[in-house]
Chain A
Amino acid sequence: MTESKRTPLYETHCRLGARMVDFAGFAMPVQYTSILEEHAAVRERAGLFDVSHMGQIYLSGSGAVAAAERLVSCPVASLGQGAVRYGLLCNETGGVVDDVTVYRLANQALFLCVNAANTEKDYRWMLAHAGEGVQVEDRSPRLGLLALQGPASQAILERACGLALRELKRFRFIEGAFEGTRTLISRTGYTGSDGFEVYVESETTLRLWEALLRAGEPFGLQPCGLGARDTLRLEAALPLYGHELDDTTSPLEARLDRFVKLAQGGFIGAQAIAKRKAQGHPRLLVGFTLEERGIARAGHVLAHGGKAVGVVTSGAPSPSLGISIGLGYVPPSLASVGTQLFVVIRERNIAARVVETPFVKAPGPRRS
């Protein structure tokens, strides 16, 4: 077994008593005290996550925007400086290489924040398909990333960094400084609650972490691990690569239509995605809740009319709702809200129903 990589906060997590697990080749905290407590902290107050394992791949040069337009499913040329967009890197068959956020830094510079498990793959993919006049650079090893999530995030970050963030809208970012080093603060996240992600130099990550925890103390800020990150993103019905998305899944099967410039086209996989849509998707992603006791888990069979019809891609008890929730793929004829399904758990059929997603709608930035 190869040694797990460490983020700049590895020792800090251990000192805080976190349970560490290997995730995408990194030793990461899955929980500090309790997943349920950490989940509640984010929904009610604020939580701080080390997500330094995530990758950042930079594109620069006269061909950077054209390269990004070709590489990702969302429009990039129209993305203003200081704006972020979610999109998919797709392959020629219309499957998903990765799901990413695209940051427009300048006219000829942008970067993609990518999944830790895919950083290497994405980097090679981007190098191979970037085309002329563009430099592709993986800066992940030099960057830390902290996610500060929850309704108190703005107040905490303002206090820690001395910035006014009320005007920073969702999916916008600003560049700033923390203790003399550059940071980038974006109003984004993977929890469904209001919050920020702060990119910072590796060597400053620990000082920023400590400053945020100090500033957050009166607000009840809590360090949070990957366990809570997963239950939070599932409540928000945000896809997780390797679960809802993979190299064979069309983004449209995953219901990510609004992040795919299908009419405009021009990105790798666009034609295949359009063709697969025209042929009719064999399966669509749905959200469901369980109507009996039990917990759906990834890999469980979804059944209808006594037959296996699909599979659960993610499932967990929803700490906010107090019921079990899940995402899974079923044929389009069974994808309408209200459809009765069964989750086969240890050979028993547990009743479930297709519901609207997100499961939980947390309030966004306050607009007062």
Chain B
Amino acid sequence: MADYDIPDDRRYSAEDEWARLEEDRVSVGVTDYAQQQLGDIVFVELPAVGTTVEKGEPFGVIESVKAVSDLYAPVSGQVVEVNTDLAEHPEHVNEDCYGDGWMLTIEVEDRAEYDGLLDASAYRRHIAERKG
């Protein structure tokens, strides 16, 4: 079975996004599991700064050579920063999904939404269960 990097310093959604809280802002990206499943990422479509996203609702699109997938917001709030480098370098999501491959920073409305996300060990179990 493939090995997935799941760092302890952040939380995870069941839809394979990670969220990392710093003060009242959450940065968001997709997990190592997601990027491995997708394969070569060739296109990322993100919302504009100022857009409001809803927890569990699509905020953007990620495309591999073969497939198109929605990106789901792990928490609700206003988008305050967008990683515009991904337009030119979508491969950063494959190369460094927890770093240069970040997608958004959201100003969190409700801290409880963040606290309700999976921690690293729960997310690891989530992946294992899905793989059957």
A residues near B (Cβ < 8 Å) are 19, 30-31, 34-36, 227, 230-231, 293-295, 297, 316-317, 319, 346
Pair B40/A294 contact, Cβ less than 8 Å: no
Pair B66/A295 contact, Cβ less than 8 Å: no
Pair B65/A316 contact, Cβ less than 8 Å: yes
Interface of B, secondary structure class, is strand
B residues near A (Cβ < 8 Å) are 39-40, 42-43, 45, 61, 63-66, 68, 87
Sampled A-B contacts (25; CB under 8 Å)? A30-B66, A34-B40, A35-B39, A35-B40, A35-B64, A35-B65, A36-B40, A227-B39, A231-B65, A293-B43, A293-B87, A294-B43, A295-B42, A295-B43, A295-B63, A295-B68, A297-B68, A316-B65, A316-B66, A317-B42, A317-B43, A317-B65, A319-B65, A346-B45, A346-B61
Report the bound CA distance from A231 to B65 in whole Å.
Answer: 8
User: Number of A-B pairs whose CB atoms are under 8 Å?
Assistant: 33
Find chain A residues with CB under 8 A from B65 CB: 35-36, 227, 231, 316-317, 319
Report if A35-B66 is in contact (Cβ < 8 Å); known contacts: A293-B43, A295-B42. Answer: yes
Given A35-B40, A295-B42, 18 other A-B contacts at CB below 8 A? A19-B39, A30-B66, A31-B39, A34-B40, A35-B39, A35-B65, A35-B66, A36-B65, A227-B65, A227-B66, A293-B43, A294-B43, A295-B63, A297-B68, A316-B65, A317-B65, A319-B65, A346-B61
Nearest-CB residue, chain A, relative to B64: A35
Nearest CB on A from B34, distance (A): 14
Find chain B residues with CB under 8 A from A231 CB: 65
Find chain B residues with CB under 8 A from A34 CB: 39-40
Report the bound CA distance from A317 to B43 in whole Å.
Answer: 9
Nearest-CB residue, chain B, relative to A346: B61
Report the bound CA distance from A227 to B65 in whole Å.
Answer: 8
Report the bound CA distance from A288 to B69 in whole Å.
Answer: 24
Nearest-CB residue, chain A, relative to B63: A295
Residue of B45, B65, B87 with highest tally of chain A CB at under 10 A: B65
Find chain A residues with CB under 8 A from B61 CB: 346
Nearest-CB residue, chain A, relative to B44: A293
Find chain B residues with CB under 8 A from A319 CB: 65
Find chain A residues with CB under 8 A from B63 CB: 295
Nearest-CB residue, chain B, relative to A297: B68
Find chain A residues with CB under 8 A from B42 CB: 295, 317
Nearest CB on A from B106, distance (A): 21
